[in-house]
């Protein structure tokens, strides 16, 4: 008997049917052990010795695997073909060795990029040993994350009550979100006007052209900055004569997109299917491990954690056959398309994500899949087929127009493009985060010197807009651009930020919570190097060098720890006032925004003497007056409506004021459910919502009634 060990029961079930009765396939259900969640599990003073602990849930599964291994002649470790998969195989091997179950047994490591019969049988013919370099890279990453978390988190807890642990990569991802919020807050809208002429050709065909120049000077998008300027142009154009100066048409080719990597799949699934990265990976995992499509379970896609964009030759050949059959020979390029990307790690440069069988068209397998599975499979299939199709042939036309208005000469331009041959666009077009190209669409036929008739001139006011907040997909894209994290970490990194209440999602956009901004400001003030984009990306490159056997993993840890431990030591002696002063300065524009008048935004609105400042209480940060205890004014951190009662704050809905005390009455959400609160401070009066009363139904009157409880309704006659 040969024992095969994989991660998941779904994968075990799928490959079991391919191997026959001489094999027993067992699942570890993912990682079976991790660093013990206690101080000292990585010991820098003992050459970074690591203390591993078997997961309680994994103990029974390991026992079952041990029984099977005891009676086996050969053990085959067949976990996923990446750093995490290599680590799982290493852990299992270490545990079985410690139990002395591998004596005189052959142990092999096999990897396959697709859960199909051919791929598995081919892998079985080419076993290898566990890749120690990949395991070293895994151990280095876990040690780094542990050392940062267990060293930095206690500092955070002491200096910033209410803050939770700070992960190495998560902290940098949070900084990206917070930096964008700062950009938005500092943004000052700029007015500009567009001048558009609605024109007719001699054949009475309508089109529009935009003002691009005046009197020999180029006019850019923001150059017309006021209504008066716009009206002057419009007035001059009312009697202008329009003539075609030149018509230029040139062919343009658009080439298909590369097949999916982990990052691009997450981005496109978010744009087109509305799936969060974590959900995309869950669905892709199921498609990879195997789905029953009528003839037993079969893996429908290749491994979904990859930076690679290459395709196997047989996959390319199969795609070209499908294209010829479904679209015709004109859509098949003369030579197969080959895509390349700079591999971060040669040992992890897997194939791109693709269907395991190109002839399994989405419509044929959809009835066997859940709706989300069917949509994601179709997305992967169409992208893969499209990447091997002929380029689209377009014609882009630019018409330059002269408007003669008395002594003035104004330049207009009209642009458009038409599809002459759709090529890959007949099947697939990538989703976009911005608006579609203004040049799409056909222009009517025109010739040089043609006279044009004016229908009307539009002068439209616009304002520049701040950069948009990140979506989960655009954050993944930004992290990839910066070299932060790896395909297997993107989704979990964002999930951790949400779980720790550092960010929230509104209308698919990531908005940093005050808690997240405080943590980022603290880290930027005192650990700037360790949340630096370049530093984090450089560390990722060093981890890749470890996995390529280029540098020693413990040397990497020593270099990191020598600097990091010193930085933490310096911060431990900081006084709370120093921390608060730094946070007040960094977060000042956010928590003390200008009110548009000459009044100091930090002046206490109650006593008019004290300065508002960040304070740290038992439950986290709040705003208080420096004139305490004479002035007891406090408010929550968010500035929006904090003093006037206007608007809502994150997690807080302002209901109004108590008519007797003037205290603000708010509805909040806490760890034990919704509640109402009167005022601010360390011990404000609170009351939980009774069962049956929904948060949306709470009014000021109902809140005041709840806060009045308990109240005396009568006295006992004997009292």
Residue 451: HSE in the Cβ half-sphere, 13 Å Cα cutoff: 3
How far is residue 711's CA from residue 707's CA, in Å, rounded to a whole number?
A: 10
Cα–Cα distance between 690 and 675 in angstroms, integer?
9
Question: Is the CB of residue 481 less than 8 Å from the CB of residue 469?
Answer: no
**HSE-up (13 A, CA, CB side) for residue 7:** 21
Q: What is the b/e burial string over 295-308, where b = at least 16 CB atoms within 10 angstroms of the residue's CB? A: eebbbbbbbbbbbb
- Give 31's strand partners: none
DSSP, collapsed to helix, strand or coil, labels residue 307 as coil
Q: Which candidate, 364, 380, 375, places its Cα nearest to that of 294?
A: 364
Active site residues: 303
650-683 b/e (C-beta count within 10 Å ≥ 16 → b): bbbbbbebbeeeebbbbbbeeeeebbbbbbbeee
CA-nearest of 312, 362, 317 to 339 is 312
The residue whose two tokens read 């399994």 is 360
Q: How many CA atoms lie within 13 A of 547 on its CB side?
A: 25
Question: What DSSP line would sit under 159-226, residue for residue?
Answer: HSTT-----HHHHHHHHHHHHHHHHHHH----EEEEEEEEEE-TT--EEEEEEEEETTEE--TTS--S
For 336-352, b/e burial (b = at least 16 CB within 10 A) is ebeeeeebbbebbbbbb
**Cα 526 from Cα 32, distance rounded (Å):** 36
Give the integer Cα–Cα distance in Å for 286 and 289.
Answer: 5
Consecutive H or E run containing 437: none
Q: Is residue 208 within 8 Å of residue 420, measured between CB atoms?
A: no
- The DSSP symbol for 482 reads H
Parallel, antiparallel or unpaired: strands 52-54 and 33-35: antiparallel
Residue 265 belongs to what H/E stretch? helix 262-273
Whether residue 20 contacts residue 305, with contact meaning beta carbons closer than 8 Å, is answered with no
Q: Of 323, 317, 318, 325, which is closest to residue 391 (Cα–Cα)?
A: 323
CA distances from 611 to 206, 575, 578, 587, 603 (A): 63, 20, 16, 15, 5
Burial of 563 per CB tally in 10 Å (0-12, 13-18, 19+): exposed
Opening angle at CA 408, ends 406 and 409, nearest 5: 115
d(Cα 200, Cα 207) in Å, to the nearest integer? 6
Task: Find the distance separating the first CA and the last CA of the chain, reported in whole Å.
Answer: 85
Torsion (CA) 696, 702, 708, 711 in degrees, nearest 10: -120
**Gap between the Cα atoms of 673 and 694, Å rounded:** 11
Instruction: Identify which of 130, 136, 144 has the alpha carbon closest to the alpha carbon of residue 102.
Output: 130
* Listed residue (465, 515, 473) closest to 490, CA to CA: 473
């Amino acid at each position: 008997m040969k024992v095969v060990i994989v991660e998941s029961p779904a994968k075990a079930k799928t490959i079991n049917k391919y191997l026959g009765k001489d094999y027993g396939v067992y699942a570890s259900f993912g990682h079976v052990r991790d660093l013990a969640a206690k101080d000292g599990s990585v010991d820098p003073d003992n050459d970074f010795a690591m203390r591993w602990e078997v997961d309680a849930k994994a103990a029974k599964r390991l026992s079952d695997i041990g029984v099977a291994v005891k009676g086996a002649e050969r053990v085959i470790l067949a976990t996923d073909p990446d750093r995490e998969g290599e680590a799982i195989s290493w852990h299992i091997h270490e545990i079985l060795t410690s139990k002395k179950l591998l004596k005189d047994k052959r142990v092999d490591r096999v990897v396959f990029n697709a859960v199909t019969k051919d791929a598995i049988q081919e892998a079985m013919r080419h076993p290898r040993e566990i890749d120690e370099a990949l395991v070293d890279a895994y151990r280095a990453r876990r040690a780094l994350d542990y050392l940062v978390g267990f060293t930095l988190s206690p500092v955070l807890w002491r200096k910033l009550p209410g803050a939770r642990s700070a992960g190495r990569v998560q902290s940098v991802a949070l900084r990206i979100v917070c930096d964008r919020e700062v950009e938005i807050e500092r943004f000052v809208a700029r007015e500009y006007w567009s001048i558009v002429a609605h024109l007719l050709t001699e054949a009475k065909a309508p089109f529009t052209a935009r003002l691009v120049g005046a009197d020999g000077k180029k006019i850019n998008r923001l150059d017309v900055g006021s209504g008066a300027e716009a009206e002057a142009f419009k007035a001059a154009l009312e009697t202008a004569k329009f003539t075609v100066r030149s018509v230029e048409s040139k062919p343009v080719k658009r080439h298909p997109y590369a097949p999916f990597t982990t990052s691009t799949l997450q981005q496109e699934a978010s744009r087109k299917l509305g799936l969060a990265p974590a959900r995309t990976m869950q669905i892709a995992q199921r498609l990879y491990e195997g789905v029953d499509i009528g003839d037993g379970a079969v893996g429908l896609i290749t491994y979904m954690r990859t930076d690679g964009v290459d395709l196997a030759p047989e996959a390319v050949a199969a795609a070209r056959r499908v294209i010829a059959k479904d679209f015709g020979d004109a859509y098949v390029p003369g030579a197969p398309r080959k895509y390349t990307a700079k591999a971060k790690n040669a040992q992890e440069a897997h194939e791109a994500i693709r269907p395991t069988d190109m002839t399994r068209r989405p419509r044929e397998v959809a009835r066997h899949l859940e709706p989300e599975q069917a949509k994601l499979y179709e997305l992967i299939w169409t992208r893969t087929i499209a990447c091997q199709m002929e380029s689209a042939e377009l014609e882009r036309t630019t018409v330059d127009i002269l408007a003669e208005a008395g002594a003035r000469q104004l330049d207009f331009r009209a642009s458009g493009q038409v599809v002459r041959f759709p090529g890959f666009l007949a099947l697939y077009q990538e989703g976009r985060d911005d608006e579609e190209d203004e040049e799409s669409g056909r222009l009517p036929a025109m010739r040089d010197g043609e006279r044009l008739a004016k229908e009307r001139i539009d002068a439209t006011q616009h304002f520049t807009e701040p950069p948009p907040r990140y979506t989960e997909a655009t954050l993944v894209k930004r992290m990839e651009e910066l070299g932060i994290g790896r395909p297997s970490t993107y989704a979990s990194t964002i999930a951790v930020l949400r779980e720790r209440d550092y960010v929230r999602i509104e209308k698919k956009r990531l908005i940093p919570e005050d808690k997240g901004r405080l943590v980022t400001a603290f880290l930027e003030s005192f650990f700037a190097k360790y949340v630096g984009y370049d530093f984090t990306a450089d560390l990722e490159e060093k981890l890749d060098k470890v996995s390529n056997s280029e540098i020693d993993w413990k040397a990497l840890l020593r270099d990191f720890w020598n600097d990091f431990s010193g930085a933490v030591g310096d911060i431990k002696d900081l006084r709370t006032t120093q921390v608060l002063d730094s946070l007040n300065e960094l977060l000042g524009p956010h928590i003390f925004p200008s009110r548009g008048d000459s009044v100091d935004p930090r002046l206490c609105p109650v006593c008019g003497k004290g300065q508002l400042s960040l304070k740290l209480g038992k439950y986290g940060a709040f705003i208080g007056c420096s004139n305490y205890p004479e002035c007891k004014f406090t408010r929550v951190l968010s500035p929006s409506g904090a003093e006037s009662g206007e608007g809502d704050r994150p997690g807080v809905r302002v209901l109004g004021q108590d008519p007797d005390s003037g205290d603000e009455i708010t509805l909040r959400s806490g760890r034990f459910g919704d509640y109402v609160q009167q005022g601010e401070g360390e011990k404000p009066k609170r009351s939980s919502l009774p069962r049956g009363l929904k948060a949306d139904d709470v009014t000021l009157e109902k809140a005041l009634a709840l806060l009045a409880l308990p109240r005396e309704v009568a006295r006992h006659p004997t009292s």
